[in-house]
Amino acid sequence: MSSRFTNILIPVIAVFLGVLAGTIIMLVSGYNPIAGYSALWNGAFGDIYYIGEVVRQFTPYILAGLAVAFAFRTGLFNIGVEGQLIVGWLAAVWVGVSFEELPKIIHLPLAVLAAAAAGALWGFIPGFLKAKFRVHEVIVTIMLNYVALHVTNSIIRNVITDGKERTPNVAESASLRSPFFESITDYSRLHWGILIALACAIIMWFLLEKTTRGFELRAVGYNQHASHYAGMNVNTNIILSMVISGAFAGLAGAMEALGTFGFASIKGGFTGVGFDGIAVALLGGNTAIGVVLAALLFGGLKIGALNMPLESGVPNELVDIIIALIIFFVASSYIIRWFIERISKKGVK
Amino acid sequence: MEYVIEMLNIRKEFPGIVANDNITLQLEKGEIHALLGENGAGKSTLMNVLFGLYQPEQGEIKVKGKPVKITDPNIANDLGIGMVHQHFMLVDTFTVTENIILGKETTKSGVIDIKTAEKDVREISERYGLKVDPSAKISDISVGMQQRVEILKTLYRGAEILIFDEPTAVLTPQEIKELIQIMKTLIKEGKSIILITHKLKEIMEVCDRVTVIRKGKGIGTVSVSETNPNELASLMVGREVVFSTEKTEASPKQEVLQISGLKVKDSRGVEAVRGLDLDVRAGEIVGIAGVDGNGQSELIEAITGLRKTSAGTVKLNGKEIQNLSPRKITNSGLAHIPQDRHKHGLVLDFPIGENMVLQTYNERPFSKNGILNFKNIYNKARTLIKEFDVRTPSEYTLARSLSGGNQQKAIIAREVDRDPDILIAAQPTRGLDVGAIEFIHKRLIEQRDNGKGVLLISFELDEIMNVSDRIAVIYEGEIVAVVDPKQTTEQQLGLLMAGSGRKEAEEKANV
Amino acid sequence: MKKRKFGLAMSLVLAAGTILGACGGGGNEEEQGGTAGEGGNKEDAFTVAMVTDVGGVDDKSFNQSAWEGLKAYGEEKGLSKGKDGFDYMQSQSDADYATNLNTLTRQDFDLIFGIGYLMEPAIGEIAGQQTDQNFAIVDAVVEQDNVASIMFKEQEAAFLAGVTAGLATETNKIGFLGGMAIPVIERFEAGFRAGVESVNPDADVQIQYAEAFDKAEAGKAIASKMYSSGVDVIFHAAGGTGNGLFTEARDLKKKDPERKVWAIGVDSDQTAEGVVTIDGTDHNVIITSALKRVDNAVKDLSLQAADGNFPGGEVTTYGLTEDGVGLAPINEELENKAEIEAKVEEYKEKIKNGEITVPGSYAELKTFSAQ
């Protein structure tokens, strides 16, 4: 069996198995799987509005996935994407509401860059601590998530507003919203951020695969000792990796801030996008193109799943299980690969 | 003669390659039987077949004349076959006894009976002359001791046939001597041994017969008494091998590396290099002889910038380089073949081609304005691969999938190609077969003949004696003697290395 | 290496494609069949649906209460759950509100509720786009002609809770556990403090916010500190965080059955959370609960809209008078239960007939105290 054919076959089987497992669960619980899956499909792609929403959801997933993947490639596990996203969100909104008269060509990029810078700063802290004091980045990033959550809540309540639970909407000149996209997708919240996200995927690919800096980052990721020996500055690369990763996460926050919502509100808990980013990155094999495709899968499932309880009567909890199973099977394609290899070996005998 | 094990016409295939092709190995009772072959010749595969980890496609295994099917290691254990692995399989935080009984615990009403077990272990260790403290923790005992624990483990499980996989690779010369003694005792007590190795000297010293395999094929079995190292080497490699590397007289010129009063602390903060003085001149190879742990690693790391020095100077071409960054030191004309090629030498998950530019990726023509030029990188890699005979399917192959010898060749290609003034070679032939060793020695001498300085650090006395123009003996972080290899014997060197000749050496130095 | 990446890419595309294909196949035929069986609904029925916030429909709090209201409405009108009766959609994150509201719009529900102030921006935006669709929002105000806003006078329920607490305390130390400092909770706090002040001006009310509605452990820690400082009655307006208060109160009661530890619940009658069994006899640590009848309000507004009286663009405020807030029955174990009940009734009347205006903010509380 040619390896390329196997590579295509495996995810197909994975998704099929996930769908099959979901079918069995729905049948056992007394729901109609055909109705369930058609509701999922309709909720994601059944209407131009939903397509717009899927792409809208897809956008922050790409960036969160890129953030995790980028750090991974340098041997770092950035669990702090969630926190970096939240500070990026706040920074974008802050810039977005603070200036009234700026032309869009300055205001919008400023707000987006502010988000990237805030995320980068939030990534710099664990990077620096790791590089200088060998503090494990997982611990620092987890803790910084909470710091981000509560600090941004406090700033929204006490600094940007006067005791309110949400900020005013960002100025039109800082908004990524697109009347054009809204008109062609029947008022979905699809916004220009998708172009930023896709551009970032290309940037990540180019940076890692084509530049000397990327060469160093990858080398450090695989083998710090050999990189040090070869004259690379391991600490600089660790910090830089976390900074870039944080910047991607901050941009994901900007997507929510300037596109999806247009404001920041006090959050009782995490958005979850940053944590989903870990799954997106792993599913995408930590490559740029893989992240984009995995984010599309996540975005589609996420939006489509909302429609399942209403249209097919499958309860929410079951929907969560079915979605989780599909992702589980795609993620554990190793098992399928193993089966295929066994079967094809037997075939030869 | 009675055979305790017969592996007849074994054939084992993996997708794309035949790892074992019609190999026959017959082990007589009470003999030490060597299994000789280059790296990747198929020795490990054959032993894994015997140990039940792989199933052969063809062939037959007989134990004491009876055909058997060994489908998993437990069956091998039950048949009395035990394996002493090259990489020890021990739990560091457990005691010797706990490790030995692991998986075969003697219990008394559900509780492990450690007292009885300890007694058993002591008994076995005394019978076979394996001195160990049954209650010591693995992390507290030496590598040689750990190996004895591995041997005890197999004996405790009632092994009659012991397979030793490259047992001397990790041992000091003294420990090797003790191991050989142990193997002889085991034979006396009625055990049979298969020794996997590519060290011809050991075979000549302890073995009765040798089975040679080459590129997966059985070449034949010969009696040690009827052969000599040269014949064995050519059987293994398939061509004539020259042992004592041919070289002309050195013609040393100016000093390229000058070390004076160097002090370096090890990772625990203990001074490992204590005021060391050493010069290496252009056009000579200086070998550093010494028992492992006398400051060699710290010395190399200090020279190459991987470790900070606490006192003294290191000069390269007259300029001080101590405590500079590794990149600055490399750029001022130093190349380094590191002791641990997996840890320091290569990024194993990079293609071999990208490993070739691990230091020079940011220089033209490999990159321009921060953008890599893969065409130039892989062109360079192709040239080096050809020139240094690195056997790899392509320059895009991951370094991980190359054999140890070819990985080492790739490192040497990279380092030598940078045309350094001084080449630091730390244990450059560790774990390699004679063919690769010969190649590497030639390259080192070639460097010397081109007027470069070479500093060779090795624990193999043969290598030091063969290749060096001068030998500096290191003991407890100092150079205690500098001798001419042509006027020194291994015994004299061994004494110096053990520190006993220190006084004498000091006197000599004062004169 | 390159090949592998390409393979992965291809495979993921295919993975996505397959899901879509697999689901798409049977899609359309089934669409009509899906809910037809549940039928029994009239063609011209006035259909109502709601979107929960992230708490979900079984949050034991106002999402659940709103759903009870919708069910009551459906029962009254003879409708069943489904696309042509009444239904709900749950939101997993803030981003889902708009999607869910839009989905319900697309399903042609006649009235769509957004439950909770979190929904305000989404309702505001979508109501502006879908001008033919009627919306209603609970706990927030959206000023648009096709949106009816439902507000509660939480302060009135909290006031009665304050009256109860002020009379029940023996140490003259009372606690207030808030979820997050947002206007709704401010109303609870102001009303509660005013209630305590009215009947027991000497009592000291300790105020603490947990900064979350879903952190029971934080609620427990705060309650523990308050009780150990001598507080004997704590009122919470903190959603799931308040469950920690109940746990702490039950634990203390279990350790020392003689000790007076009391808690007051919120939103719905939380009596069931307060049961402690000591030596075979049941005790309850919950005195009462400040009720916020989201169910009544949702049902009431649905009925109004069904009759053609949709209060679009208006703010409908539900207070004691409208039966939108209230107080649950007082715990039997309280020694001065009768006294409390009498006082509560007295103040109820005063509020209803306008004799007392309960403060709904810190500013109003100040002027209230001055009187």
CB B393 within 8 A of CB B351: no
In which region does residue B59 sit, left (phi positive, over 0), alpha (psi from -120 to 50) or beta (all else)? left
Chain C: closest CA distance from residue B134 (Å): 49
B348 closest CB neighbour out of A223, A227, A230: A223
A164 is in which domain, residue-wise? 61-293
Contacts of C121 in chain A (CB under 8 A): 166, 169, 261-263, 265
Structure tokens at B133: 């403290």
B363 touches A: beta carbon within 8 Å: no
Taking only the tens place, the pLDDT of each residue in A212-254 is: 999 999 999 999 999 999 999 999 999 999 999 999 999 999 9
Contacts of C94 in chain A (CB under 8 A): 261, 265, 267, 271
Averaged pLDDT for residues A104-130: 96
Instruction: Give ipTM to 2 decimals.
Output: 0.84
At B492, is the pLDDT very low, low, confident or very high (cuts 50, 70, 90)? Answer: confident
pLDDT over 80 at C32, yes or no:
no
Taking only the tens place, the pLDDT of each residue in B126-138 is: 888 888 888 888 8
Q: How far is Cα C178 from Cα C290, in angstroms, rounded to an integer? A: 14
At C13, is the pLDDT very low, low, confident or very high (cuts 50, 70, 90)? Answer: very low
Verify whether the Cβ–Cβ distance A231 to B347 is below 8 Å: no
Q: Which of residues 86-125 of C touch A (CB under 8 A)?
A: 87, 89-96, 98-100, 102-104, 106-107, 117-118, 120-121
Q: What is the pLDDT of residue B502?
A: 52
A132 touches C: beta carbon within 8 Å: no
Verify whether the Cβ–Cβ distance A310 to C4 is below 8 Å: no
Verify whether the Cβ–Cβ distance A233 to B325 is below 8 Å: yes
Among C31-40, C131-140, C208-217, name the one with the lowest average pLDDT. Answer: C31-40
Q: What is the pLDDT of residue A234?
A: 93
Contacts of A297 in chain C (CB under 8 A): 12, 15-16, 19
* C14-45 burial: b if 16+ Cβ within 10 Å, else e: bbbebbbebbbebbeebbeebbeeeeebeeeb
A212 closest CB neighbour out of B325, B344, B372: B372
Q: What is the pLDDT of residue C5?
A: 47
Q: What is the mean pLDDT of chain A?
A: 90
Structure tokens at B77: 């254990």
Chain C: closest CA distance from residue A232 (Å): 24
Averaged pLDDT for residues C117-127: 91
Taking only the tens place, the pLDDT of each residue in B37-48 is: 877 678 888 888
CB count in 10 Å sphere of residue B29: 16
Q: What is the pLDDT of residue C21?
A: 41
At C4, is the pLDDT very low, low, confident or very high (cuts 50, 70, 90)? Answer: very low
> Which CATH number is correct for B3-237, 3.40.190.10, 3.90.550.10, 3.40.50.300, 3.40.50.800?
3.40.50.300
The torsion of the CA quartet B432, B433, B434, B435, rounded to 10 degrees, works out to: -100
pLDDT over 70 at B240, yes or no:
no
> Which CATH number is correct for C154-291+335-370, 3.40.50.2300, 2.60.40.2890, 3.30.70.100, 3.30.360.10?
3.40.50.2300
In terms of C-beta density within 10 A (0-12 exposed, 13-18 middle, 19 or more buried), how is residue B67 classed?
exposed
B351 touches A: beta carbon within 8 Å: no
Contacts of B344 in chain A (CB under 8 A): 225-226, 229
The DSSP output letter for B249 is P
pLDDT over 90 at C314, yes or no:
yes
Q: What is the pLDDT of residue B501?
A: 58
At A211, is the pLDDT very low, low, confident or very high (cuts 50, 70, 90)? Answer: very high
Is A312 inside any structural domain?
no
For B350, the closest chain C residue by CA position comes to C1
Q: How many structural domains are present in chain A? A: 1
Percent of chain B with pLDDT over 90: 34
Q: What is the pLDDT of residue B500?
A: 65
A319 touches C: beta carbon within 8 Å: no
Verify whether the Cβ–Cβ distance C8 to A3 is below 8 Å: no
pTM above 0.95, yes or no: no
Is A204 inside any structural domain?
yes
Residue to test with chain A: of B347, B398, B418, most A Cβ within 10 A: B347
Verify whether the Cβ–Cβ distance A313 to C34 is below 8 Å: yes
Q: What is the pLDDT of residue B352?
A: 93
Range ranked top by mean pLDDT from A54-68, B392-406, C92-106:
A54-68
Q: What is the DSSP code string of C155-219? A: HHHHHHHHHHHHHH-SSSEEEEEESSSSHHHHHHHHHHHHHHHHH-TT-EEEEEE-S-SS-HHHH
At B233, is the pLDDT very low, low, confident or very high (cuts 50, 70, 90)? Answer: confident
Range ranked top by mean pLDDT from B8-17, B48-57, B271-280:
B271-280
| Closest by CA position to B452, among listed B464, B443, B461 | B443
Averaged pLDDT for residues B80-100: 85
At C57, is the pLDDT very low, low, confident or very high (cuts 50, 70, 90)? Answer: confident
Verify whether the Cβ–Cβ distance B347 to A232 is below 8 Å: no
Verify whether the Cβ–Cβ distance A229 to B327 is below 8 Å: no
B325 touches A: beta carbon within 8 Å: yes
Please list, in sequence order, all residues whose beta carbon lies within 8 angstroms of the beta carbon of residue A235, skipping any fewer than 6 positions away.
Answer: A131, A132
C11 closest CB neighbour out of A11, A157, A266: A11
Averaged pLDDT for residues B103-120: 79
Averaged pLDDT for residues B261-286: 90
Q: Quote the crossing angle between the two packed helices C294-306 and C62-77, to the nearest 10°.
A: 40
More confident residue, C74 or A164: C74
Averaged pLDDT for residues B87-116: 81
Is A68 inside any structural domain?
yes
Taking only the tens place, the pLDDT of each residue in A25-52 is: 999 989 999 999 999 999 999 999 999 9
Taking only the tens place, the pLDDT of each residue in B310-357 is: 999 999 999 999 999 999 999 999 999 998 888 889 999 999 999 999
The reply to whether B3-237 and B255-333+420-510 are identical in fold is yes
More confident residue, C342 or B237: C342
Q: What is the pLDDT of residue C112?
A: 96
Q: What is the pLDDT of residue A9?
A: 73
Instruction: Convert B372-432 into a string of H (helix), E (strand) and C (coil).
Output: ECHHHHHHHHHHHHHHCCCCCCCCCCEHHHCCHHHHHHHHHHHHHHCCCCEEEEECCCCCC
Q: What is the pLDDT of residue A94?
A: 96
pLDDT over 60 at C10, yes or no:
no
Locate the domains of chain C by residue range.
Answer: 44-152+293-325, 154-291+335-370
C11 closest CB neighbour out of A8, A32, A313: A8
Contacts of C83 in chain A (CB under 8 A): 310-311
Chains touching A by CB (3 or more pairs below 8 Å): B, C
Averaged pLDDT for residues B105-130: 82
Contacts of A210 in chain B (CB under 8 A): 371-372
Q: Which of residues 278-337 of C touch A (CB under 8 A)?
A: none
Verify whether the Cβ–Cβ distance C121 to A10 is below 8 Å: no
Taking only the tens place, the pLDDT of each residue in B444-487 is: 999 999 999 999 998 888 888 889 999 999 988 899 889 998 88
pLDDT over 50 at C18, yes or no:
no
Verify whether the Cβ–Cβ distance C213 to A260 is below 8 Å: no
In which region does residue B393 sit, left (phi positive, over 0), alpha (psi from -120 to 50) or beta (all else)? alpha
At C6, is the pLDDT very low, low, confident or very high (cuts 50, 70, 90)? Answer: very low
More confident residue, C317 or A332: C317
Q: What is the pLDDT of residue C30?
A: 38
CATH architecture of B255-333+420-510: 3-Layer(aba) Sandwich (3.40)
Q: What is the mean pLDDT of chain B?
A: 86
CB C358 within 8 A of CB C156: yes
For B395, the closest chain C residue by CA position comes to C1
Percent of chain A with pLDDT over 90: 65
Q: Which of residues 375-434 of B touch C (CB under 8 A)?
A: 396, 398
Taking only the tens place, the pLDDT of each residue in C77-111 is: 999 998 889 999 998 888 899 999 999 999 999 99
pLDDT over 70 at A345, yes or no:
no
A173 touches B: beta carbon within 8 Å: no
Is A19 inside any structural domain?
no
A210 touches B: beta carbon within 8 Å: yes
Locate the domains of chain B by residue range.
Answer: 3-237, 255-333+420-510
Contacts of C126 in chain A (CB under 8 A): 187
Chain B: closest CA distance from residue C125 (Å): 47
A306 closest CB neighbour out of C12, C83, C100: C100
Please list, in sequence order, all residues whose beta carbon lies within 8 angstroms of the beta carbon of residue B406, skipping any fewer than 6 positions away.
Answer: B390, B391, B392
pLDDT over 70 at B16, yes or no:
no
Total beta-carbon pairs less than 8 A apart between chain B and chain C:
3
CB C189 within 8 A of CB C352: no
Contacts of A228 in chain B (CB under 8 A): 306, 326
Contacts of B396 in chain C (CB under 8 A): 1
Return the CATH fold of C44-152+293-325.
Answer: Rossmann fold (3.40.50)
Taking only the tens place, the pLDDT of each residue in C237-279 is: 998 899 999 999 999 999 988 888 999 999 888 899 899 988 8
Is A241 inside any structural domain?
yes
The continuous run of DSSP H or E covering B3 comes out as strand B3-14
B104 touches A: beta carbon within 8 Å: no
